Chains A and B, each alone.
Chain A
Amino acid sequence: MEQMVNVFVMGKKYEVPASLTIMKALEYAGYKLVRGCGCRNGFCGACATIYRIKGDRELHTCLACSTQVVDGMYITQLPFFPLIKEIYDINEVRPDETVMMKTYPEIYACIGCNACTNACTQGLNVMQYIAYAQRAEYEKCAEESFDCVMCGVCSSRCPAGISHPQVAMLARRLNGKYIAPKCEHLADRVEEIASGKCEEAIRANMALDDAAIREMYNTREIEK
């Protein structure tokens, strides 16, 4: 007999197998999910969940798809949170001190409570990456926030009304486009292709008959 636990879905009790993730427990309880379910594997941030274990004061946050149920778990989901996503033109903005001030000025109202970091379902140091954004250290902000799945739980806990995932998104795009070193071999190859230099070799491969291309493939040298 499977070991069962009691979980409380928005306050209502269901008995579910102890081995399940929260997401699968909801389905075991009989829900067919439309909201709060996306990749089912920790990458999309659709299934942000807040829970508290009966008898425990602490409030926990997690992704329902990648967290196992615990007996006495009181669960509520946050399938959507109204983050502020400002519109900008990536070709017009620059990675300078003014861009955050113009786009997401509320980050300077951070009171340093660290509720965002405590709430992060990915275990990121959210307050730190906001601090980097305040100081226009976008490379550091990008690195610190890289694993963000934009579930929005951090913002739900923020007394300053910061939309942390969107701040980080802007920082990463600034870093990717403007700050990270340009790739010369990439630019060179794009140019070579555009000028037709790569054409002859590939057309020659395409013109081979079946036996010839099989031979070429099966005997090709593989880079160590």
Chain B
Amino acid sequence: MSGYAKPLKIALGLAVIAGLIVIPMNFNRYGLFILSQWAVMTIAAMGLNLTLGYAGQVSLAQGAFVGIGAYAAAIMTTHGWPLPAAIAVAIALSFAVGWVLGYPALRVQHHYLAFVTLAFSTLAFLVFRNESWLTGGIYGISGIPRPHFFGIATNKPLPFYYICLGSLAIVSLAVWWLIRSPWGRAFMALRENPLRAQSLGIDTRRYTLMAFAIGSALGGVAGALYAPLTQYIDPVPFNLSLSLDLLMMVIVGGAGFYFGPFLGAMIAVLLPEWLRFTEGYYLMLYAIAVMGLLIWSPTGILGILDRHMAARRTKAASALRAVAKSRLETAQ
């Protein structure tokens, strides 16, 4: 059984990747926009999943970091800078601000930390809205150009979708590397048992700050892609509700599961489209579905899968033990 599991997983992964590349070729402008938005939001949610899901630090500020990245990219690219440079600045800026926002987490935890990050989210929104010399205030920034990539213009939806998908691929690989590195293990230890983690030499302060900084930097990456995707930004999309949406994506998908953000972002971005026929009832249905899910499985959709697999493993292990025991008894 386990001999087939790995090739099967790889085949499935390759099929999904091929699907994401090939199938959207037939999509219309709007379909491509939605799919690009999914890729961008998945990046932001992966960042939050790192901070919250793996390292256990509650943050209601991920939307603000998407905003910081988006404004950095919008301001720079409208002033003639290339997008990769803007992305680099967005990463550096959100990493630095995220690091600083991590400091309260060294003193407060859980809902207290949620409040601190919520305050930061509001502060960031006020800066986007009020500092009009920089951000254009409520009128926002329009005419955000899309980049040329190896000489190919990405003004059309399909090429820009590929930029979003490519960025998602790079971020996914980086996050995968991170969580299976000793850092990932340290983040998990920080979430599960900070006291024990410290006694094993894990510098919980540094890892907490890193969890915030890296998670926020991914929010910045998402923002730096969001600006050229919509080509117009104003403060409203980056208010607290984006942070709550991102939190929802992480929790619905399954916090602390690698694929959680992919699934959560898919539900949050695509479900409104599928439920369009219900007109005004969409939000109500979504709310009921989320409540139902969290009662059934507090660890999100992937939590259900995980429990199922764990039950199967336990069964297999106890069967093995029974066999080993009977052999022992026979030998005696």
Same assembly: no
